[in-house]
């Protein structure tokens, strides 16, 4: 691997005046956050008001205080809950990590909150260097953006320009790609595109079904049929290596490599969406965890990065004018994103024996124990790294929602994924401790028992 670039923020953080001030500010803010507690009535009012502002109630009655530590987050009414979903992947290092907060406050004190592509600062520079280095030699260029959807939009534009006049995209059934008008069409969920104009340029192939020995052959046949029907018109296939929103369905290497190889033969771009997987599998990129580097043309990342980016091969470098926009990201977001990448490497999270791989095995053991005690309630477990899910009973949506609500009442935050079945998903912080894991699984078991009792289900 190439030499590690020097962090231009480091000298500032190392400067005693700055680091002491950052330390003092972070401590003062955290203390204040802990002390500012809403009464249960005021909390309920605030949650209801927030729902009115948004036009519908919050899915879960949650309002954070800003304080927390590790997997534990303090709500605005003073309750502390274990957060095993991390804002759907945002809190990769848990809550109020001091190291990340220090990086954030120093960056925030430099200039205005966001920075753009016209006047990039040192955070922009450092983050792009780190991303390029971790992505490997093939992916030569990177453009920063704010959300996963924006990174995916940039990726599609880059691909369409290069493959013009090809105008179709292949995606997996059950894919989630984001919520712009274009991405809502690729996302395989009719409810997410209700009322939107459709372009009709998305084609689907089945995702891997581990229970079907012919799964790879079936998906290859579907891809071949699309290639035969639209010769020269398919620009890319979008690979979501782990279908996060689709229920944490993990694609196997053989399956993905077979489809990627077919795309290569056919001159179709291999576009990997790592918005949710980034930083959550034993290597920083899931495509590297699965050894798929040789196939990949374009990759997008987001969520845990505290911003987003598209990385691509030199051959995909777009002509000027195609990709830009005012904002590249929040300055603090870029600084924290870069610090997260450094911490993942420096603190031993990456690699086959790194802390993420070890955590994956620890979580598997917890689930196995729960399955033994509640075989009726814990089904179809799947997961990789810090992403895990299971189907409670038969995954009937009301039952799953009841488990999520019961878990929250008992002090554990988890979330749904997929639709039928609706599964329970966890996106764990990489630094979750044994004690937190134990406490979370104990609560989950209690919640399942409560739902079994109230709905007359057998565990
Ligand atoms: C795989 C994948 N792609 C894209 C997105 C969209 O990212 P964002 O919500 O930041 O726009 C998500 C968000 O959940 C995602 O999981």
pLDDT of residue 276: 98
pLDDT tens for each residue of 152-206:
999 999 999 999 999 999 999 999 999 999 999 999 999 999 999 999 999 999 9
Residue 179 CA neighbour count, 13 Å, CB half: 5
The domains located in the chain, with CATH, are 61-103+352-455 (3.90.1150.10), 112-346 (3.40.640.10)
pLDDT of residue 13: 78
> Rounded mean pLDDT of 47-53?
97
Distance 275 CA to ligand 1 centre (A): 5
Contact 408, 79 (CB under 8 A): no
Residue of 156, 242, 303, 418 with the most ligand 1 atoms within 8 Å of its CB, for mutation: 303
Distance 149 CA to ligand 1 centre (A): 6
Residue 2 scores a pLDDT above 80: no
pLDDT of residue 143: 98
- Closest ligand 1 atom to residue 244 Cα is 16
pLDDT of residue 3: 62
Is the peptide bond prior to 122 cis by the omega test (within 30 degrees of 0)?
no
Question: Quick one: pLDDT band at residue 12, thresholds 50, 70, 90?
Answer: confident
pLDDT of residue 393: 97
Distance 147 CA to ligand 1 centre (A): 8
Distance 177 CA to ligand 1 centre (A): 6
pLDDT of residue 15: 86
Residue 351 scores a pLDDT above 70: yes
pLDDT tens for each residue of 90-139:
999 999 999 999 999 999 999 999 999 999 999 999 999 999 999 999 99
Contact 159, 318 (CB under 8 A): no
Percent of the chain with pLDDT strictly greater than 70: 98
> Rounded mean pLDDT of 385-400?
98
- Which residue puts its alpha carbon closest to atom 10 of ligand 1? 148
Distance 454 CA to ligand 1 centre (A): 35
pLDDT tens for each residue of 72-94:
999 999 999 999 999 999 999 99
Helix axes 355-373, 434-455, angle to 10 degrees: 30
């Amino acid at each position: 691997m190439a030499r590690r670039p020097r962090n231009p923020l480091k000298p500032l953080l190392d400067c005693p005046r700055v680091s002491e001030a950052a330390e003092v500010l972070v401590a003062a803010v955290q203390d204040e956050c802990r002390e500012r507690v809403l009464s249960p009535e005021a909390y309920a009012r605030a949650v209801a008001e927030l729902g009115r502002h948004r036009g519908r109630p919050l899915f879960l009655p949650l309002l954070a205080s800003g304080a927390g530590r590790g997997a534990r987050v303090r709500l605005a009414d003073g309750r502390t809950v274990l957060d095993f979903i991390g804002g759907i992947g945002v809190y990769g290092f848990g809550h109020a990590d001091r190291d990340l907060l220090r990086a954030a406050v120093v960056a925030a004190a430099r200039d205005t909150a966001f920075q753009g592509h016209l006047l990039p600062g040192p955070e922009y520079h450092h983050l792009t260097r780190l991303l390029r280095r971790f992505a490997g030699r093939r992916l030569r260029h990177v453009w920063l953006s704010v959300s996963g959807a924006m990174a995916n939009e940039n990726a599609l534009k880059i691909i369409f320009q290069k493959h013009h006049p090809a105008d179709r995209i292949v995606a997996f059934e059950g894919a989630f790609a984001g919520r712009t008008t274009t991405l809502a069409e690729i996302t395989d969920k009719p409810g997410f595109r209700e009322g939107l104009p459709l372009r009709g340029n998305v084609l689907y192939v089945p995702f891997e079904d581990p229970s079907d020995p012919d799964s790879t052959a079936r998906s290859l046949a579907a891809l071949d049929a699309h290639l035969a029907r639209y010769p020269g018109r398919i620009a890319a296939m979008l690979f979501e290596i782990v279908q996060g929103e689709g229920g944490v369905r993990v694609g196997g290497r053989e399956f993905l490599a077979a489809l990627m190889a077919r795309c290569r033969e056919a001159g179709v771009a291999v576009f990997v969406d790592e918005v949710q997987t980034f930083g959550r599998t034993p290597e920083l990129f899931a495509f590297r965890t699965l050894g798929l580097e040789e196939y990949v043309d374009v990759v997008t990342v987001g969520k845990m990065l505290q911003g987003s980016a598209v990385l691509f091969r030199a051959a995909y470098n777009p002509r000027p004018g195609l990709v830009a926009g005012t904002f590249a990201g929040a300055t603090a977001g870029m600084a924290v994103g870069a610090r997260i990448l450094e911490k993942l490497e420096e603190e031993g999270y990456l690699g086959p024996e790194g802390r993420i791989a070890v955590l994956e095995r620890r979580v598997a053991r917890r689930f196995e124990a729960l399955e033994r005690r509640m075989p009726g309630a814990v089904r179809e477990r799947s997961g990789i790294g810090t992403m895990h899910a299971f189907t409670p009973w038969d995954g009937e949506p009301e039952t799953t929602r009841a488990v999520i609500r019961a878990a929250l009442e008992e002090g554990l935050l988890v979330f749904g994924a997929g639709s039928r079945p609706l599964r329970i998903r966890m996106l764990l912080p990489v630094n979750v401790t044994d004690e937190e894991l134990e406490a979370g699984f104990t609560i989950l078991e209690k919640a399942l028992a409560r739902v079994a009792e109230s709905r007359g289900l057998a565990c």
